[in-house]
Structure 1
Amino acid sequence: MKAKGPLMGKTWFYRLLLSYIPIFFIVITFIFFVFFQMLSEQNRKEALNANKMLSLQAMRLIDTSLKAIDNAVMLEIINNKVLNDFFNSPTDGDPYVNINAVKKMKDMITSYPLIDSIYWVRYEDQFVLTNATSDYVSSYNDHLFITSNKMSSSNKKWTSVRSFKPFSVIKGKQVVSLVRGVPFITNEKGLVVINVSTESLRKMTEDLYDPNLSFIRVKDASGSALFTDSGAADTAKVYSHYVSSYSDWTYESGLVNGRVVHFISSLYNVWFMIGLVMIVLGIVWMIVVSRRNTRPLEQIVSRLRGYTLPIPGSLVTKGRIDEFIFIESALDNMMEQANQFQQKHKEDLHLRTRHLFHKLIEDRPALSIDQWKKEADSLQLPAPTNRQVMAVIEIDKYGNFCGDYSSQDQILLKFALRTMVQELAAKYDCELWTEWTSASQLCVMVFEQSDDEELEQQRTLELFENVRSWTQQYMKFSVTIGIGQTANQLADLSKSFKEAIESLKYKIMLGENGVITYKQIMSQGQAEVFSHLNAIRSIVQSFRLLEEDWAHKYDELFQQLNQGLLKKEEIMSLMNYLVYYLGRELTGLSKEVQEIWNREGLPKLSGCIDACESLEQMREETQQLLTDLAAALQEVQNKRQHAVMIRDMRRLIEEQFASPNMSLEYLSENYGLNAKYVSKLFKEETGQKFVDFLIHLRMQEGKRLLAEAHFSVQEIAERVGYTSAISFSRVFKKIVGVSPSEYREEAAKRPS
């Protein structure tokens, strides 16, 4: 290994030094020019903007105050009884009316502190009433102003600045006046004059600016100054000029003098000298740093020159090793390995986090608190506390959500939802652990910190209610949140998770876009699913016979469902049973009816039931489909030759079912048809055999008489068309399932 000569050391030093200097000078020069250019422009813009805002703010403040007074006066002229009583008083006047008028003036001065004085002029007797005294126009100090404004009181603008002197012994004030005629349209009864002191306006604006730096000039429409500003000297420079569209007054503002701008400009030479000094210091520092930094590099190069292992040909240039390429290659390999390790670590960390979360909520295999704490510490997760609560946030109408957004947008929205939950939790001082457990459900584990369990539950409810409302307000979808009960032990976590999932199953009953707690579900009690089957069968039978009351029964069914608390799958089972039973009943009808059912009724009803997310939506959409189906069936039935006759036949059976003579032979004699043909037509048109229909009517009436009347079984049998109590009892038990006497006993036990 050859020793490194002094020339090599100088070469490295000069190479590094010369590589820094051009960039250094370019950057410094650029920064200097940009800095002073931006500083000058910024100062100019800030001065202009500041003065514009000052003028605008002063104009808006004064205009708003004057408009408020103007509007109040207009309302008083139109609506106030005291004012109208004054102007409608007799010529001699009424002291009581005058007292009330003065009181009203003082109330207005109290309500609007800008008002300096008020007086009213009544034309009929030339009477002037002020808030301090009363007089007649001819002897009142302001009579010239009253006379000049008598015919121009409808002008909406405020007057120019003028001197107002209510008493000869008191020095006059500079005021602007608002003049309104009474009444509002004709102005023939008098004037209302409102005087506002210009000094009050000056005090209103004096807090808006520093008089040592800025000034405001306000001139009326004639060019007279409303008030003087000590800072507005002749040498002052005006930067903004505005004219009010309401009062026609001119607002000007600017700087009192250019001392601030001059001071900033004078800093140019100071900054220039500082810049030169910094350049010199930068050069010295660069030399020192370059010399210091080249030493390690020289040592690395020396070691590379003595490297005896085989070196790839790409690293050899003109018979010598290119040290920079060698070092760059080594660093690239190291960085690539580090990035791969870091990426793999992140992936493993995410998978381990999800795995731990699922182990906890599914309780497989069971963990101890110490194991959980150890895992949480290594994965940088919240440590377990004495109590945890599980909640599940479910995206409503997830099918629509997937249809409305692309896959990338769905990922972004889910990320936003998860981030929002964590940010809101920070506001409530809550620790959370969130994981997506399915495509539409975000599972949240809340770590309760306080010993007050009731307080923690309330805070958790407020947090998730805020999550729900925020999602509804700022995102184009809504969420429903299910919350389980508090898990006081580690083994209860999976139970709390299952309770949260169970709560979401009642979303169809309690509605979307809400917060549902398992405690709320348990307190309401469960409804019995099988209790609604009879109502469904009754609806289907009425629908099959095209009776008008099927829709009423359908509404009653959903009213009963609303009163209970059923899961989504239970509601779906009931509706699927309705579709099944309806299809079974319609199968026995004509071929045309079966085709309509298979083509229109069955697919639409099934699809509607699967798509519905709420009970009310299911009622409205399925009832509309059934209504359309009933209309189609009615149309088919009306086209059939014997449809009208069968409807008349049904009405006859319903009226005379209690007659022992009611039979197919009786019908054939009445309608002139063969008994077998009557039976066939009845079955085709109604989907029910004549005998079954007759027995159904008789049994319904028999049950009513058994429950409501005190007739014997023989008497009831005769009343419903049976000559023998034995025949009636045999048929009744076959259809109802119990004997007539047993049915009567059960009916007596039911609450009335």
Structure 2
Amino acid sequence: MKVNLKRNWHTKLLYSYFPIFLLTISILIFLSFLIVNELSRNETQKADMISTRYIVDTLERSLGDIELRLLEDIGANKTYSRFLEAGQGQLSSQFIYDAASGLGRMLDQQDMIQSIYLYRMSDSQILTPRGMMRLEDFQDRAYIEQALKDRENLGWNLPREYKERSFDVSSQVISMNKWLPLPWGGEGLLVITIRMYAVERQIDNMTNEKLSVLQVRDKSDNLIYTAHQMDPSAGEILNRVSADKLGLVFESGIQSGQLYSWVSLVSYVWIGIGLLTIVGAVAGLVYITRRNTRPIQLIMNRIQALQPRAEEDEVAPSVKDELALIDRALEHLIAQTVDYEKQHHENLLIHRRQLLVDLMEGERMDSFRQRLRHLQPLEERFMEPKSVAVLIAEMNGDDLSTNQNILKIALMNVVEELAQNETQFGGWAEWFGNRRLIVVIASDEKEGLDRELLMDLAKQMHMWIAEHFRLRFTFGIGRTVSGWEEITRSYASADAGLQHRLTLGKDAIVLSEQLPDRIELQSYKYLQMLADFVREFRLTGDGWRTQLDQMFVAFSEDQITDNDIRMLLQALIQMLSREFGELSERLQSQFAEEILTRLRSDIQQVETLEGIQEILQEWLKEVYRNYVSVNETKSHRAMINELRIYIEEHFDDPDLSLKHLSDRFQISGKYASYLFKEEFEMKFVDFLVKLRVEKACRLLSASDMAVQDIALQVGYANAISFGRVFKRIMGVTPGDYRKQSGKQGEQ
């Protein structure tokens, strides 16, 4: 029977898709506009930041070059050193003329410099390119007086008005001063002034008046200068860059109307592309829906042909929607298929697992071969193997949960495929519980299961699972037997091997032939070892560490089972708890049930004997430290004496501090400070400085070592901090102290 679709099917399909299509396209166009807009703003801000940083770096570099060149010229010319050292009336007019001319030449070499002058502290005389004058006649004396008050201010100052003489026209400058002679100063002051006009012109040359806005402000946010004398409100500020050397803040941005002009053009292009896309998509949608009508008609015809005629006559008049009919038919078919496959798969897995369980336990062997043929867990040629061996893969750590069936099936498939990659092997894997994966390896050759091949196969399985599933297993390889009837022996030997994982499980694999001939625990031997260990621990010597190493060596040599090892370690912990657990509050906390429970859990989860020894040793070290501290509590006076001796021996260590002492002597910083005030009637810092300065005085008087070397030798990182501390204590600089000591020696 042929089903005629309604004539409006094509229209209905179009109406179903079209609203979603239009909404999606509209959102994409709008998001594209927003993204382009935001990207443009971010890139503009980045470009403006780079430009502003370049301007700031250029200004700082220009002023730094001027400062460095002038300082080199002043320092290299002995004329200015003589000027600073001389008193009033000691220099000739020719000398003053030459010195002033030298300043004039420096002034002519730098276009940005407004003036250079030297101030001599001994008689308040000022040397300028015009000559000498007294401080009271100098129009810039306010700046000099401020510099004398604030000696630490050696950087560039904010713009100010400057003139030398009363009849000069004032101009805006920025200034900086340096104390001479370098580096300590004390005889005079060098003042350099830069024309603000030159700075402004340099800023204007580096900015585009048609695009950029740049404002210069001081740290208090007061406006100092706007590039090209533009209106500050003419643009949007995007970035702020601080010029720390100049004490200024540069604000920059883009003029209004310039930021998004090109963005609009790009947006119009996107809108045009979007409209063209919509037109093309509509045409494609119409074509696709028209073409899809024919397959739907064919599907409907097939569904109707498969239905019984009585059901067809009943359903045909009531079916208003062809897709609903198709959906109902497919849903019914899929449900039946899924139910059947699920049931079949579950039954197959259950029967295969039960078959392997019976095989390992040696039960129901009369019907074993018939069930084996029916379930087909192995290839046909391995159904009657000439040699067979059992591998048991046991998880390290927590078991897999019952809801992780997919992971279990994946592991089974991986193990079987790895075994079948070896052409002479057949592999069959099943889970026993949530922890053990049993793998049967079969060969159709009598000598096919070589032990080396089995070892390599187990290593491949272990590495593959660890790499891809992040799970770790220990593999026990059972003995190779000649057929299904003897496979229980192989399973038993593999299971026994896993009981010796800690001592035999090298590389997470245990071979059954590695098992010891005698497996009974030598209780007396190990109990004596435990008693010897506790005795050595009580004597507070290092013998307990040797005893612990010997105990773990014995574990490995005797190849005792994992359960016996953990039982002996539990007995050791109990003996230590009875012996030391009540001696102090700290030891009580070490033997608290919560700590011991966590320790047992860590020991239980570790996979190697070395790992168990490491965990136990870390815990024993902490117990030993607390036990020793109980036996060796130091008196108050002894602690003070040790502190004093330690500081006198290590005062030249730059890292010596209260925190260092508290870590070294296991006391708090506050307690160490208290001990100093009580015993020496001074703070720790003062005591330390006193020792360092005393040694520095001896070195300055008795040696020719450089001040920098002396600073390092007495515990200071550099000569500047050393000189500051030395002058505060002794009242003079290290150099002056050395001179005074030299004069006293000559007298």
TM-score, structure 1 normalization: 0.40
Q: TM-score, normalised by structure 2?
A: 0.40
